[in-house]
Structure 1
Amino acid sequence: MKLSRNRIIFLGFALVMVLSLCTIGIGAQTKTLKVLTVSNWWFKGHDAFADALYKKLGIKLEVEKLPDEQGVQVIRTRLAVNEVPDILLYYSGANMRQISPEQFFVDLSKEPWVNNLVPVVKNVVSANGKIYGSPNNSMPLGGVVYNKKIYSKLGLKVPTTWKEFLDNCEKIKAAGVVPVCYSFKENWTAQLLNLIGWYEIEKKHPDAAKLINTNKLKMADIPEYVGDFRKLSELREKGYINKDYLAVTFDNAQKMIANGDAAMYLMGSWIVDTLSANYPDKINDLGGFALPSDDGKYNGVTVWASQAIYIPKESKNVALAKKVLEFWASKEGQAAFFKVQKTNGAPSFKGVNAGDTYGIVKDFKKYLDNGQAAMALEFQIDISLSNDLPRACVDAGIGAKSPKEAAQAVDAALEKNAKDQKLPGW
């Protein structure tokens, strides 16, 4: 059948109109949500997730990244005056609970993805029994980072008791290598032994965090906590640390452990971010194990939660923001994130394959998978310790305070800060 010239023109015009209407329809369905975050809380993986979200649901994220230094204060100010985005990234744990999340954030407790949260992380996005946020990233894990080549060369096994740990230190020292690197030039690194020792305390004293938080238990009355200060001092007294520990920085320590100048370093798995960038040919020589307890019965890693994603109550797009969080928690959403974001810890959601990662992370994660992990104390109590714990650890490490005195200094700081925060029971 032949078509007339006018009919062909008409059909062509009609086709153009249909395509134009389809395009208009897609544009009309696209919704833009505003996201507010501190710059260093937003990674390439989040950009990849945002792309996947747009393709899947037609939701576009407009992200405002605040400067790292002033970002947190800006967020608090905007919350106070109700200048809020649709989605907000903010601290989890005690820092979240301090700003009264029930006043600012939507209760997400009944969202379907909540059941997919890894159990150890639920508490840090909760307040008063309700869940207000979704973890923003994977969970770093803490323990002992060690140079596997040195261990192999000296025929050493991963220690499971503190005595075995010290025995390894003695053999490493005899071989002319620093057994344990201290980097007290940056005092935040001094607190790692106490932080990674929390698993043993939580197993032996399950209600410790709750009792500390309500002023019913003192740190100095927990033998294992005082014992961690003892271990910190003992390693120095036995000559198992580097002599220049007061001048060594975090960066220096990474160089020492990567190059085999030190055999072990007490640290969190976030160290792989800089190790992989600065020592890509050495990072696979490193692994990790849990800090050994005295009797070896309670060996596990410490877990640090990431920041979390919240929906402000004043958002005009709460229902749509909930869809974003649902997609974020899904296997598809997490896959988009981890496809470009090599994890420095364990996924915060069950059944998520984070892809390949480094030996340090894999070794630490084995403890988590086996149930041998505890959330860091800072995420379990409402009291801020800021620089007080690092200072106490430095004092114990250099011998300026006894282990008991260092623990008492932490108690004094907790009391002062709790009163400043006007917490009940203090």
Structure 2
Amino acid sequence: MHSTHRPLLPRAAAGAAAAVLAAGLAACSTGGDDDGTLNILIDNSEATGSLMQALVDAYTEAHPDVEIELEIRPGGTEGDNIVKTRLQTGDMPDLFFYNSGSLLQALNPSQMLTDLSGETYLDSVTDTFKDGVTSGDAVHGVPVGQAIGGGVLYNLAAYEELGLEVPTTWDEFMANNQAILDAGTAAPVIQTYGTESAWTSQLFVLADNYNVLAAEPDWADAYTANEAHFADTPAALAGFEHLQEVAEAGYLNEDFASLTYNEGLAALVAGEGVHYPILTNALTEIEAVDPEGVDQLGFFGLPGDAPAEAGVTTWLPGALYLPQTNEDPGPAQDFLAFVASTEGCDAQTAGVSVIGPYFIDGCTVPSDVPPAVAQLQAYFDAGLTAPALEFLSPVKGPALEQITVEVGSGIRSAADAAALYDEDVKKQAQQLGLEGW
């Protein structure tokens, strides 16, 4: 999913953004400048802006002769198209930040991106992350950020006031939603389909992958081989059905069609809504505008039907990539080496709240993390995690967010949505030249 796409910049990155909008957008470098300037294209999200600004500040403090400009692009599908177009036209800056997993595969990385597998700094990057940025035998990216959980952020105060417990089954989750609705003080489930926020509608489907794999361990391989599909696999169809269920039960906020992602996060912190199915990197975005807000939230994986093995679907963070069009890659390689070091992790830890484990050897997570991060870490400690489908399969249809918006809005049934998405997926698989499609 578009896990790094957000509509606003954090306060910490506002100055950098202004400089970029004034200068970086006017001239898009395709190689290191003679004056020691390094240009990096990033999405306009709170999380990405905060993390990159922390890295830039630490690096330039140690390298005062280097100036780094962060160029900002839109998020969502528009941002995806910009990245693809600029790679294809040779108009990409020195480095760019983008998703790992299936969205990376859609960029034709073997033709567009530099193979970093021979670089010694990659020795410190974990194999789990490398697998998410690999094409053939080539490794293309260096992680920025930490492991991300996909599930439900919830308002701790609301749970305490209503005497609710963290659900470990879908039925328990729905019972909690009914209790919240009966109390009449908040929306049980926040959905945000407003401007540039449609991607958030996918969580009920994508964050359910842990439960799908628990029921169908070979799901990802069968799906990739066109032997199993969302519409004909009950465990996979369940995500669409759950979204339909919460909508039909009247559990959504009344303004779900227009509310934006940032507004949804603010509503969650304020207790105007109690549950928000979302990625845990949202905590970085909350911290940027409300540092105390992260302490008011908890987190649990999207519930399935096996309470004893209730777990969480996890996402790899995005990565920095080096385009092949960079004619002077030395400065970019040096910055990548810094990002892949414990010093790079320390810079990120000092700049923003840590939201999960790092994928760099030797990097540690502070003991005083927010409650939601501690709950996410507990899933990792217990071994109750599974990757999102996009890290197990290159097949990811581009229309999922529009389809899930229709389900959440009552326009399309879960069964119709799953069948439509299977058709959407087929087009992507054929474009990738996968066997069996």
TM-score (ref. length: structure 2): 0.77
Match for residue 382 of structure 1 among 394, 397, 417: 394
Whether the 8 Å CA contact 1:88–1:310 is kept in 2: the answer is yes
Match for residue 144 of structure 1 among 144, 152, 165: 152
| Deviation sequence 1:328-351 (CA, Å, 0-9, x none) | 211122212332233455423243
Range that drifts further, 79-88 or 145-154 = 79-88
Q: 1: distance between equivalents of 2:173 and 2:83?
A: 45
Structure 1 residues 198 and 59: CA distance shift in structure 2, 3 A: farther
Aligned match of 1:409: 420
How many angstroms does 1:279 deviate by? 4.5
Query: 2:264 aligned with 1:253, yes or no?
Result: yes
How many angstroms does 1:191 deviate by? 1.7
| Deviation sequence 1:157-190 (CA, Å, 0-9, x none) | 2111122222222333332243222334453322
Aligned match of 1:4: none
Q: 1: distance between equivalents of 2:92 and 2:405?
A: 40
Query: 2:252 aligned with 1:241, yes or no?
Result: yes
Secondary structure at the aligned position of 2:66 is classed as strand
Aligned match of 2:104: 96
Structure 1 residues 332 and 155: CA distance shift in structure 2, 3 A: same
Instruction: Supply the RMSD in Å over aligned alpha carbons.
Output: 3.4
* Seq. identity, %: 30
Match for residue 306 of structure 1 among 317, 329, 342: 317
Match for residue 196 of structure 1 among 193, 207, 217: 207
Structure 1 residues 214 and 181: CA distance shift in structure 2, 3 A: same
How many angstroms does 1:125 deviate by? 0.9
Whether the 8 Å CA contact 2:301–2:310 is kept in 1: the answer is yes
Give the aligned length.
396
Secondary structure at the aligned position of 1:256 is classed as helix
Q: 2: distance between equivalents of 1:333 and 1:119?
A: 18
In structure 2, runs of 5+ residues without a counterpart are 1-33
Whether the 8 Å CA contact 2:42–2:96 is kept in 1: the answer is no
State the AA in 1 paired with 2:192. Answer: S
State the AA in 1 paired with 2:110. Answer: E
Q: 2: distance between equivalents of 1:77 and 1:392?
A: 25
Whether the 8 Å CA contact 2:56–2:68 is kept in 1: the answer is no
Query: 2:192 aligned with 1:183, yes or no?
Result: yes
Q: 2: distance between equivalents of 1:224 and 1:156?
A: 27
Aligned match of 1:361: 373
Aligned match of 2:286: 275
Q: 1: distance between equivalents of 2:89 and 2:253?
A: 51
How many angstroms does 1:84 deviate by? 6.4
Structure 1 residues 144 and 116: CA distance shift in structure 2, 3 A: same
* Aligned pairs for 1:16-55 within 5 A: 32=36, 34-38=38-42, 40=44, 43=49, 45-50=51-56, 52-53=58-59
Q: 1: distance between equivalents of 2:170 and 2:113?
A: 45
Q: 2: distance between equivalents of 1:254 and 1:38?
A: 22
Greater Rg over alpha carbons, structure: 1
Q: 2: distance between equivalents of 1:115 and 1:230?
A: 43
State the AA in 2 paired with 1:418. Answer: A
Whether the 8 Å CA contact 2:51–2:145 is kept in 1: the answer is no
Structure 1 residues 86 and 226: CA distance shift in structure 2, 3 A: closer
Range that drifts further, 347-356 or 282-291 = 347-356
Structure 1 residues 35 and 211: CA distance shift in structure 2, 3 A: farther
Structure 1 residues 233 and 99: CA distance shift in structure 2, 3 A: closer
Range that drifts further, 115-124 or 148-157 = 115-124
Q: 2: distance between equivalents of 1:76 and 1:184?
A: 25
Q: 2: distance between equivalents of 1:419 and 1:316?
A: 33
State the AA in 2 paired with 1:233. Answer: Q
Aligned match of 2:236: 225
Q: 2: distance between equivalents of 1:297 and 1:57?
A: 51
How many angstroms does 1:408 deviate by? 0.9
Aligned match of 2:175: 167
Q: 2: distance between equivalents of 1:209 and 1:136?
A: 26
Secondary structure at the aligned position of 2:307 is classed as coil
| Deviation sequence 1:194-231 (CA, Å, 0-9, x none) | 12111122344344333323323212122112112222
Q: 2: distance between equivalents of 1:71 and 1:238?
A: 34
Structure 1 residues 262 and 38: CA distance shift in structure 2, 3 A: closer
Secondary structure at the aligned position of 2:404 is classed as helix
